[in-house]
Structure 1
Amino acid sequence: MPHLEETDRLRRENLRLAEERAAFIRYIRAKVGELLVLMKCPARNADQLGGMELIGHDPIGTIAVSFSEVMDNLNVTNERLLLEVKERERTEAALRASEDRLRDFIDNAVDLILIVSPDGRIEYANRTVLSTLGFAPAEFVGRSLCSIVNPMDAEKCRKTIGRVIAGEKVSRIGLEFRDKRGGSVLAEGNAGGRFEDGQCLSVRMILQDVTSRKKYEEELQKAEKLESIGVLAGGIAHDFNNLLTGVLGNISIARIHAPSGGDVHQNLSKAEKACLRARDLTRQLLTFSKGGAPVRKATSIADILKESAEFSLRGSNVRCEFDLPDDLPTVEIDEGQIAQVLNNLIINADQAMPDGGILRLGAGTVEIVQGDPLPLKPGRYLRVRVSDTGIGIPKEALPRIFDPFYTTKEKGSGLGLTTVYSVVRKHEGVVTVESEPGGGTSFFLFLPVPRNAHRREADQESGSGKRSVLVMDDEGMVREVALEFLGHLGYEGAAVEAGDAAIAAYRDAREAGRPFSAVIMDLTIPGGMGGKEAVRRLHDLDPGVRAIVSSGYSNDPVMADPARFGFRGVIAKPYRMRELREVLEGVLSDGGSPVRAESA
């Protein structure tokens, strides 16, 4: 039968195809009963279709099925590719976010970060670099790195770039940059390179702004030098002031015997003023280098202003005007330190008016209340004004004028206004400044007025009652001058060289019924008992002892706070007769507070 032969042929062909490709799939037509169906069947299973009547195969169907399978595969592949694209997009977004975070981190880092091309051109600078040096990105990127460093560092800069290009990682470099205004910025850090195929593509620098640290180190070194000067000055101050005490004392005595108004009297007065200036110079050096506490006494600021102006403007073409009311209260100040402050301000004003001008010196009282912008405790203050009509201070310099070693002068030391600020602060006051370039400068000192402030009365050279005073000092000239002063002031005097002798003399006088009314004691006795130990033992002997400390070390803590160490009064060497009279009268009166002589 023909259809049986066709069936056999189809079976054989299926078997042949199965041998070539076991998984070959085709569509075949089979007759099952009266139903003609199109079915898909693996060729390897063709021999299992015995229960069906195979009537042939369909090539077009096979192609259609193959195309369908290709499309299925394409759909699967397309879905896989879409997943890969989405994954890549997520990866790229994460990478961009990471790059943004890194860029933001670098841009806002506190370090100075630079990327420089091998030929030294700036390719990148973070915000810290730009803000520190004052440049905009457009005017900074593309410039030569060596063009923005100190010319002295240009060669170092080029060598650093060369070392990096050669493959070296420079672990420590230091460069001085110039900002847009010409100021100096000191930086330290490291430098490395980015390489590709052995060739340097860029040089990366990570630096730190060490300007403040270097400035502090320099100031510390200068302070140490000043400390050394202070130690040296302290070492000679005692002996120097002892000598001055002898000179000044003998001049004071000679003035008493010299005819008033004559040439000799005038010459002695000039010599006395010279000695006092020498004394003040010693104190100024000690005040700044050692930072001693002020040795205060009630003082008229008007007198200091006038004396400072006369001294500082000698030979100047500047005219001085005073505004000093008669009822100005006294202030508790260290006269030598405040005189130094005013001298510095007046000299600065004079130098700001090279072609002449007007210097106005004035003073008045002001009330500071709670909430006042000035950093002062509420109360009454004396405001001292020093104003000039000079060139003024540049606005950019105003915030720094009180910084140590900062100066706008070619030959300035940068210490004058620092001393002004330091001294006024130690007096529980403040100093402020107002200035306009070309419009002059005004400094204002605010000094607290004590509650019991009073107008100073005219000095009197009268004597006191017949009382006895014991003097303890290792310097014979000082003892002689002190006894001479005491005699002229109407006191009986006795003198000893050291603390143990003073204790013995004081005890003997008490036992004899002729106790000393007061004791004047030198602080430092080389090789012997000084005043600090001696007064402690005198208090054991007599709790009511009226002791006065006297020393050439005007910045000694005992001189600043005598009551804490058992003294009733203080007088710094060298001193004049009227200063000795003042402290003796104060100590022998019933006043409670420690008495300070004018020289103290």
Structure 2
Amino acid sequence: RKKDLVISQTAKRKKGISTKYELEIITAKGKRKIINASISPRFDDKNNYIGAFGSIIDITGRKSLQEAVLRAQRLEEAGRVAGQVAHDFNNLLAPLMAYPEIIREELPENHPVLQYIEEIERSAEQITEINQQLLTLGRRGHYSLEPLNLNDIITNVIKHIHMVPETLTIETDLSDNLMNIKGGSSQIFRVILNLVHNARDAMMDVGHLTIKTENYYVDKLSGKFGRVPRGEYVRLTVSDTGSGIPDDIMPKILDPFFTTKTTTKKRGSGLGLSIVHAVVEDHNGYIDVESKVGEGTKFYLYFPITRESLEEKVPEQIVGGTENILVVDDDNVQREVASKLLKKLGYKVSTVESGEKAIDFIKKNPQDILLLDMIMPDGIDGAETYKKVLKFNPSQKAIIISGYKETEKVEEALKLGAGAFIRKPLTLKTIAQALRKELDKKETINNVVSYK
């Protein structure tokens, strides 16, 4: 193809036509470069073509920047669509996630229907996982940033890797003195698991897969997907001995829904690497890749370090209560699901479908805590509702729920005093823990500590 291009351009110059074209070349050191050639013909006194003169400019950097901008635009558009779809899915998932747990407790042990309940739960969990990937892509997934150690997450990932054949070797090389990073553990877990699945697919479960961590100082580094700024990082490397990534495919690998799997293979969602990219960016990190066709691929992830220490976590139990709770949600299914879960925990539950009705209800019927949906398109949202309630009841407790995080509104509600954010679909465990944590919280009023 390159030869044909050069021949055709030379033929034009022989006709007296100046030519401009881009060409990809491989340098003597094996580096890929893109050049812009601007060449004009030369003729002798008898108008015979005797050669050409012109300029050649290396535009590799400019082309990489253009590709990065186009990739960002594609990710933004795909993320917008994915976020909306995931929000709708979350509402539909609510009964699938919540009701099996309630049904199980109503059935005797060894009842034949229990196996079907387990199938429903497994399927719902898988759908929820895909939905979480869509939410992550849409930058609407909510997670708290806390100090964590990458080695701990990798150890957990390894435990979740099943059905490893004898033809595949998985090895870890984890730094003993690895610095902590700040992030969401479940999102980082998803990133590493996606990279492992991607590597296994590339090797068809035949070869060597290595996961490595190290403390890494970047002085000057330029990668395929942008420059990594100078600084201190924890670097994660996932390498495989698979088929490698061809140069013509490399610019597309982070695109949402891009996959090289054919219809004869088990197709994935095509979200794997785009999710990796989205999560790494959300953690102020960077991604780079090295690959050689026929030899394998290495993915490098750079996460900024933190010097904050890890917090010890105590397992939380499912504990209910008898307090009064008002559920505010514009979706009838969500209200019904939340109501059933809360009544199962022993609470006295009321429900309304809008912020306006919630305000009127609370004025006449004081509540111990509110369960507020954040997004209610047909009226005032959760944050605005809470703000209006606080005007006549400054000590009102509340918990925010939503299918995705609208950062501004959620942050506003949390700053107003809302105790926690719970992501839909709700489960008995998550709602129970959040409620008791908020209801049992100490309050400081005029420097006097009291319990509500």
What does residue 453 of structure 1 align with? 311
Shift of 1:265: 3.5
Is the 8 Å Cα contact of residues 294 and 560 (structure 1) preserved in structure 2? no
Provide the aligned C-alpha RMSD in A. 4.8
Is the 8 Å Cα contact of residues 100 and 121 (structure 2) preserved in structure 1? yes
Is the 8 Å Cα contact of residues 404 and 415 (structure 1) preserved in structure 2? no
What does residue 479 of structure 1 align with? 335
Change (3 A) 1:199 1:213: same
Change (3 A) 1:422 1:454: same
Query: Equivalents in 2 of 1:568, 1:442: separation in Å?
Result: 39
What does residue 265 of structure 1 align with? 114
What does residue 504 of structure 1 align with? 360
1:173 aligns with 2:21: yes
Query: Equivalents in 2 of 1:159, 1:414: separation in Å?
Result: 39
Change (3 A) 1:279 1:520: same
Counterpart amino acid of residue 39 in structure 2: A
What does residue 295 of structure 1 align with? 143
Query: Equivalents in 1 of 2:235, 2:56: separation in Å?
Result: 47
1:526 aligns with 2:383: no
Change (3 A) 1:384 1:584: farther
What does residue 238 of structure 1 align with? 87
| TM-score relative to the length of structure 1 | 0.56
What does residue 341 of structure 1 align with? 191
**Could you report, residue by residue, the CA deviation over 1:155-196 in whole angstroms, capped at 9, with x for unpaired residues?**
3322322322322333x4333334457765333342212333
Query: Equivalents in 2 of 1:348, 1:374: separation in Å?
Result: 29
Query: Equivalents in 2 of 1:439, 1:157: separation in Å?
Result: 32
Partner residue of 1:276 out of 125, 132, 138: 125
Is the 8 Å Cα contact of residues 132 and 141 (structure 2) preserved in structure 1? no
1:255 aligns with 2:77: no
Shift of 1:549: 1.4
The 5-angstrom pairing of residues 184-199 of structure 1 reads 184-197=32-45, 198-199=47-48
What does residue 570 of structure 1 align with? 421
Is the 8 Å Cα contact of residues 296 and 560 (structure 1) preserved in structure 2? no
Query: Equivalents in 2 of 1:295, 1:349: separation in Å?
Result: 27
Q: Between the two proteins, what is the percent identity of the paired residues?
A: 26
Query: Equivalents in 2 of 1:304, 1:549: separation in Å?
Result: 28
Partner residue of 1:538 out of 367, 389, 397: 389
Is the 8 Å Cα contact of residues 259 and 265 (structure 1) preserved in structure 2? no
Is the 8 Å Cα contact of residues 536 and 566 (structure 1) preserved in structure 2? no
The 5-angstrom pairing of residues 112-261 of structure 1 reads 151=1, 153-170=2-19, 172-180=20-28, 184-197=32-45, 198-260=47-109
Structure 1: 5+ residue runs without aligned partners?
Answer: 1-150, 325-329, 378-382, 510-514, 593-600
Shift of 1:579: 0.5
Is the 8 Å Cα contact of residues 468 and 492 (structure 1) preserved in structure 2? yes
Residue aligned with 2:351, SS: strand
**Could you report, residue by residue, the CA deviation over 1:416-442 in whole angstroms, capped at 9, with x for unpaired residues?**
567546534644678899999989979
Query: Equivalents in 2 of 1:569, 1:348: separation in Å?
Result: 35
Change (3 A) 1:576 1:525: same
Query: Equivalents in 2 of 1:521, 1:284: separation in Å?
Result: 24
What does residue 113 of structure 1 align with? none
Moved more, 486-495 or 260-269: 260-269
Query: Equivalents in 2 of 1:276, 1:287: separation in Å?
Result: 16
Tell me: higher relative CO, structure 1 or 2? Use CA pairs within 8 A at least 6 residues apart: 2
Change (3 A) 1:579 1:347: same
Shift of 1:386: 8.1
What does residue 31 of structure 1 align with? none
Is the 8 Å Cα contact of residues 36 and 57 (structure 2) preserved in structure 1? yes
Residue aligned with 1:272, SS: helix
Residue aligned with 1:463, SS: coil
Query: Equivalents in 1 of 2:55, 2:158: separation in Å?
Result: 54
Counterpart amino acid of residue 483 in structure 1: S
Moved more, 306-315 or 496-505: 306-315
Query: Equivalents in 1 of 2:356, 2:205: separation in Å?
Result: 62
Shift of 1:560: 6.8
**Could you report, residue by residue, the CA deviation over 1:471-505 in whole angstroms, capped at 9, with x for unpaired residues?**
11111111111111111112111111111111111
Q: How many residues align?
A: 412
Is the 8 Å Cα contact of residues 294 and 337 (structure 1) preserved in structure 2? no
Structure 2: 5+ residue runs without aligned partners?
Answer: 175-179, 220-228, 262-268, 444-452
Partner residue of 2:279 out of 423, 427, 433: 423
Is the 8 Å Cα contact of residues 141 and 404 (structure 2) preserved in structure 1? no
Shift of 1:253: 1.4
Shift of 1:248: 1.1
Larger radius of gyration: 1
Residue aligned with 2:330, SS: coil
**Could you report, residue by residue, the CA deviation over 1:560-582 in whole angstroms, capped at 9, with x for unpaired residues?**
77524653210111121111011
